[in-house]
Amino acid sequence: MAKKEEIKKVNEEELKLIQEQQKNYQQIVEQLGLADVRKHLLFTHYDELSKKIEESKKVLEEKYGNVNINISDGSYEDIKKDDDSDLSVVKSEE
């Protein structure tokens, strides 16, 4: 009859240590994955909000013209266009 091989094992304290380390490692990896998903969702919400803000700006600009609106109290001032705002500097080609 063949002799049964003895199973080699680390001691109980070492086993608990590596099990705990592996558990913590897996939790960190899981949290990193969740953080990445949350980050993606936040970017999606940010993009959606940015589009809504631009839409609101267009509606308000159509109604009030080119103005700066104080978001604290709702007051607004016309944005004054400088007379020379259409001028630009052109380099000569020498």
State residue 78 phi and psi, 5-degree precision. Answer: -65, 145
**pLDDT given at position 81:** 77
Integer Cα distance of 64 and 23 in angstroms: 60
Q: Where are the domains of the chain?
A: 12-78
Integer Cα distance of 76 and 91 in angstroms: 38
Q: How many helices (H) and strands (E) does the chain have?
A: 1, 2
**pLDDT given at position 3:** 74
pTM given for the model? 0.58
Low-confidence ranges of the chain (pLDDT < 50): none
Quote the percentage of the chain above a pLDDT of 90: 77
